[in-house]
Structure 1
Amino acid sequence: MTEIEFSAKYYDGESSRGIDVRVRLDAANMVHVIGLDAPLEVPLANVRVAPRLGNTVRSIAFPDGAKCETEDNDAADALLRRSGTGRFGDLLHRIESRSRYALAAALGLAAFVVVGVVWGIPIAAKVIAHTIPDEAAYDIGRGTLATLDKTLLDPSELPEERRRELEATFNGMANRYPDLPLTLVFRRGVGPNAFALPDGTVIVTDELVELATDDRQILAVLAHEIGHVHHRHGLRMALESSSIALLVSAYFGDIAQITTLSASLPGVYANAHYSRDHETEADTFALEYLKGAGVAPHHFADILRALSEAAGNAAERTPLRYLASHPPTEDRVRRFDSEK
């Protein structure tokens, strides 16, 4: 093996005074520091060479706390290669030194982040939402309605008799799903809307009831919202908008951390949109329910069209609208129109 020799400054680890020395690596892989009062020889295996970082000064640390510093990066790289640990550092330096490689690495990282946000987090949220025990999952949403009542919603003004009619319809639907803690409540003040909370509460606004021309349209909307509860979409939205640390805590069953989702839920419901996947799942659930109950699926398409028209007329007058949290598409309308 060839010898390696280069200039450096030696620091004994006790003072800040540097001594100009020569460092030599012999064929037997012994490191010699030349220029000190007493000779210093250390096996290369016991020496720690700092990895390359651009063209910064490199340190060569010895077991007794002393070190040498050198600006000769090529020599320091050669020490690393002789020790068998320098290949990764060389590769990293070559990437850093070539702008196109650095750009490619940055683009690769950006692509990784985008894939994680667009696909990875929703998939993780779906898996985690269904691993959380039922009691804990439903408990997360408790208190959300009270917060919404203080910020967005007003008490219902529907006649008592009308509420009882719709509650009877809803209770009949809920009896089909005894595992879901379903509850129906009425509110007003945010335009024609209906949405489900993770604790099983389904909120229907007076404006939606007044917009419907047939109670079977309301029943279709209720079936859709029960689908959101069944698939835990509210919980999944909260998880998707949370931190990675909270996702990990939820996956490993840290219920104390999971309950911190409760504080974020009102904001999630005020600002977030259900994803296309969420809507498709809830639509499929509603479609299966309607067919099983002998209700023509076109009633859901009818109410979607009415909601779309109402949203166009209302413009931005209400802070929370059905079509804001349930983005409609012509495909969804056509799907229910085409079903018999």
Structure 2
Amino acid sequence: MTINDNRTWLTIILVALLTIAVSVYQFFVVGVPYLSEQIASALPAKAYEYVDEAALKSLSDSDFKPSKLSDERQNEIKALFTRLTENLDTERQFQLKFKSWEEKPNAFAFANGTIVMTDKMIELAENDQEIEAILLHEIGHVTHNHVMENLVGMSVVSVTVSLIIGDISALSDILVQGATFGISLNYSRDAELEADHYASEKLTEIYGNTEAIVSIFSKLKEFEDDSQSWLSTHPDLDDRIQIMQQH
């Protein structure tokens, strides 16, 4: 085999590898989000209910403990939450849960509309408007179906990788973990901006400005570098604050 033949085969191999790499990249960047959106929108309501039930059970078995807030304060915040969700045109069944967590301020949503706020998040808020801002951000994730789309996407990636490497023994565990821990969800930048926009729009309708969400996000910057904080799943905070200030 001549040197030219070797170069020809090397070129063919490199082109083939590049083609495979581009195809894989396109699948994960374009294909997975598209499949996730289509699958999530086609899932029955029972699937959403199951995910929330499983998530809450897992949460109870974790470091999240019953809230130490008084019944009166919980009822006050639930009343705020009801006003924010009662007229929404959605199949999701919104409910608000309170938990005590010894780490950092946290709030997150599950697929069917269950939203969890920790005592420390409520303590961090200076007023009820800032609490509403956090609630609206999480409601935005549910309304735009980011939660289920993300869970489906995680499952699609897990299935794909398991099939590629030929190890499906832990597949069920991967899917269950992906479906039950909303706290660990990593939303895309676009999803975060969409949830921010939703909250900003609603706050503007109610109060005529976005000061509450800018204020509470600024307070949360203190915990930005903590891997277990609410901000660990909510990147690019400075840019997002600037966008909301310009809203």
CA distance 1:330–1:166, change in 2 (3 Å): same
Equivalent AA in structure 2 for residue 121 of structure 1: V
- Residue 292 of structure 1 corresponds to which residue in structure 2? 205
Alpha-carbon deviation of 1:263?
4.8
Alpha-carbon deviation of 1:214?
1.8
SS at match of 1:327: coil
- Contact 1:196 / 1:234 at 8 angstroms: preserved in 2? yes
Q: Deviations over 1:161-185 (max 9, x none)?
A: 1111101100111112153310001
- Residue 178 of structure 2 corresponds to which residue in structure 1? 264
Greater helix fraction, Structure 1 or Structure 2: 2
- CA distance in 2 between counterparts of 1:185 and 1:299 reads 21
- Residue 194 of structure 1 corresponds to which residue in structure 2? 107
Q: Deviations over 1:189-211 (max 9, x none)?
A: 14101110012100001001111
- Residue 21 of structure 2 corresponds to which residue in structure 1? 110
SS at match of 1:141: helix
CA distance 1:134–1:288, change in 2 (3 Å): farther
Alpha-carbon deviation of 1:333?
0.2
TM-score, normalization: structure 2?
0.83
Identity percentage over the alignment? 30
Task: Give the unaligned 5+ runs of structure 2.
Answer: 161-173
TM-score, normalization: structure 1?
0.62
The structure 2 residue matched to 1:181, chosen from 80, 93, 100, is 93
- CA distance in 2 between counterparts of 1:217 and 1:131 reads 34
CA distance 1:116–1:135, change in 2 (3 Å): same
- Contact 1:96 / 1:102 at 8 angstroms: preserved in 2? no
CA distance 1:244–1:273, change in 2 (3 Å): closer
The structure 1 residue matched to 2:232, chosen from 300, 311, 324, is 324
Deviates more, 1:324-333 or 1:193-202: 324-333
- CA distance in 2 between counterparts of 1:300 and 1:122 reads 28
- Contact 1:182 / 1:202 at 8 angstroms: preserved in 2? yes
Equivalent AA in structure 2 for residue 114 of structure 1: Y
Alpha-carbon deviation of 1:328?
3.8
- Residue 228 of structure 1 corresponds to which residue in structure 2? 141
Q: Is residue 168 from structure 1 mapped to residue 79 from structure 2 by the alignment?
A: yes
The higher-RCO structure (CA 8 Å, 6+ apart) is 2
Alpha-carbon deviation of 1:224?
0.8
- CA distance in 2 between counterparts of 1:217 and 1:302 reads 7
Alpha-carbon deviation of 1:95?
11
The structure 2 residue matched to 1:335, chosen from 239, 243, 247, is 243
Alpha-carbon deviation of 1:246?
6.4
Q: How does 1:130-145 map to 2 (within 5 A)?
A: 130-145=41-56
- Residue 154 of structure 1 corresponds to which residue in structure 2? 65
Greater strand fraction, Structure 1 or Structure 2: 1
- Contact 1:147 / 1:266 at 8 angstroms: preserved in 2? yes
Alpha-carbon deviation of 1:97?
6.5
Q: Which is greater in Rg?
A: 1
SS at match of 1:184: strand
CA distance 1:122–1:152, change in 2 (3 Å): farther
Q: Deviations over 1:242-291 (max 9, x none)?
A: 136969xxxxxxxxxxxx95553234x34431111211221121122112
- Contact 1:224 / 1:286 at 8 angstroms: preserved in 2? yes
Q: Is residue 243 from structure 1 mapped to residue 156 from structure 2 by the alignment?
A: yes
Equivalent AA in structure 1 for residue 238 of structure 2: E
